[in-house]
């Protein structure tokens, strides 16, 4: 392997790691704030990409991305307000089932609005940054910067702000939080809107390196092992787990070929579940009997 190849592979792994991180940040956010494992996050990502593919060409990349974030925040909030809200205080299982239903509704909406042909998102820039004796696409660095900004923002928001603290209380016990005067519906709606923004950015970054297609939600299946590795309730874990999984995936592909990469990534998840079921950055939950 040449130095140029190594640089290129590391850049690819970082880009993929950024996408996985953004996917998982949305998942972890909802787990930590509402206790909901959102299996429609993949469809949120797909919808974000389709919205950007529609808005980007006329508005330009950055205004288009901003508008996409607003649209997806609204979709997230509406998804909560029109569906999830009615399971307030209900079991986790019921919520998970409802997110599956939400995923079907979102997919059908995309097919009705945009059909089945793939679409494209043009990158913010086609510039390349010279590095050693090769060059890396500038969009890779933009993606990494956006991921870091969102991850740091979420950590600070949940740990340093009153609203963030209330969201965490919500996750611990939804009913009790409401009895203590926390506006649970508003906060849950806000959490869903924030997850929508994460999905919008993830969808745009992911789709500009692939295609805007109905296959985009499958990213959740690939990103999920990273969330398990890091711990489903840790933002830091979600990011680090994502980078580890993306690195393993990329270099396994290069060295062993595509037929092995997914096997190895899922084996990694299996081993993690056996050794540390709560992930490397999660905390074991003690229960008084």
Partner 1 sequence: MTFSTAGRTVRPPRVGRTARVVSTLAAGLMVSGVLAACGGSDDSSSSGGSYKIGVEIDQTGRSKASGVAQLKGMTAAADAINKAGGIDGHSVELIVRDTASDAAKAVSAYSDLKSQGVSAIAGFLGSVDLGPVVKRAKADNMALLATGSPPDLLDPKNTVFSTVANVNAQSEATLSYIKNRMDDGDVAPEGRVGILRYATPAGEQQSVALAAKAKELGIDIVTEQTAPPGAASLSSQLQTIVDKKPDAVIFLVLESDLLTAVKAADATGLPKDTPIASWAFASSPSSLALVAKSGYHDIAASANLQSPSAAEQSDGLKAYVTAAKAAGLDPGSTQIPEGYAQTMIAAAALKKCGYPCSSKDFIAALESTSTDLDGFAFGPITYSRDEHRGFTAMRFVTSTDSGGIAYAGDPIEIISK
User: Given the rule CB under 8 A, which residues bind partner 1?
Assistant: 1-2, 4-5, 8-9, 11-12, 15-16, 19, 82-83, 86-90, 101, 104-105, 107-108, 111, 115-120, 122, 134-135, 137, 140, 174-175, 178-181, 206, 208-211, 213-215, 218-219, 222, 249-251, 253-254, 257-259, 261-262
Angle at 115 between CA 109 and CA 43, to 5 degrees: 45
Inter-residue contact 65 to 54 (CB < 8 Å): no
Q: How far is the CB of 170 from partner 1 (least distance, A)?
A: 12
Tokens of 53: 């593919």
Of the pair 249, 281, the CB lying nearest partner 1 is at: 249
Least distance in Å: CB of 284 to partner 1? Answer: 28
Name the residue nearer to partner 1 (CB basis): 74 or 215.
215
Q: Closest distance between partner 1 and the C-beta of residue 145, in Å?
A: 17
Q: How far apart are CA 202 and CA 20, in angstroms?
A: 8
For residues 13 and 7, give the distance between their C-alpha atoms in angstroms, rounded to a whole number.
10
Closer to partner 1 at the Cβ: 11 or 154? 11
| In the complex, least distance from residue 229 CB atom to partner 1, rounded to whole angstroms | 16
Taken in order 70, 76, 82, 85, the sign of the CA dihedral is: negative
DSSP SS3 for 212: strand
Q: How far is the CB of 40 from partner 1 (least distance, A)?
A: 13
C-alpha span between 33 and 50 (Å, rounded): 27
Q: Which is nearer to partner 1, 15 or 30 (CB)?
A: 15
- Min dist. Cβ of residue 176 to partner 1 (A): 11
Closer CB to partner 1, 134 or 163, in the complex = 134
Nearer to partner 1, 137 or 272 (CB): 137
How far is Cα 51 from Cα 203, in angstroms, rounded to an integer?
10
Burial per residue of 177-195, b for 16 or more beta-carbon CB atoms within 10 angstroms, e otherwise: bbeeebebeebbbbbbbbb
DSSP 109-164: HHHHHH-SS-B----S---EEEETTEEEEHHHHHHHHHHHHHHHHHHHHHHHSHHH
């Amino acid at each position: 392997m040449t130095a140029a190849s190594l640089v290129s592979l590391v850049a690819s792994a970082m880009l993929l790691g950024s996408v996985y991180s953004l996917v998982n940040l949305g998942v972890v956010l909802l787990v930590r704030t509402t206790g909901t494992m959102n299996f429609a996050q993949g469809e949120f990502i797909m919808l974000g990409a389709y919205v950007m593919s529609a808005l980007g060409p006329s508005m330009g990349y950055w205004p288009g991305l901003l508008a996409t974030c607003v649209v997806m925040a609204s979709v997230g909030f509406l998804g909560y307000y029109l569906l999830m809200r009615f399971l307030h205080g209900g079991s986790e299982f019921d919520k998970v089932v409802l997110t599956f239903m939400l995923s079907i509704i979102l997919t059908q909406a995309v097919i009705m609005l945009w059909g089945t042909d793939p679409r494209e998102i043009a990158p913010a820039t086609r510039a390349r940054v010279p590095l050693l004796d090769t060059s890396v696409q500038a969009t890779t660095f933009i993606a990494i910067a956006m991921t870091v900004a969102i991850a740091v923002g979420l950590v600070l928001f949940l740990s340093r702000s009153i609203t963030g603290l209330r969201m965490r209380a919500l996750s611990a016990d939804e009913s009790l939080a409401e009895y203590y005067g926390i506006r649970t519906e508003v906060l849950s709606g806000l959490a869903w809107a924030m997850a929508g923004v994460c999905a919008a950015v993830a969808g745009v970054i992911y789709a500009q390196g692939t295609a805007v297609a109905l296959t985009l939600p499958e990213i959740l299946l690939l990103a999920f092992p990273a969330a398990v590795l890091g711990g489903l309730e840790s933002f830091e874990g979600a990011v680090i787990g994502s980078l580890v999984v993306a690195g393993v995936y990329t270099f396994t592909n290069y060295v062993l070929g595509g037929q092995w990469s997914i096997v190895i990534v899922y084996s990694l998840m299996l081993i993690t579940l056996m050794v540390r079921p709560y992930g490397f950055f999660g905390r074991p939950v003690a229960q008084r009997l």
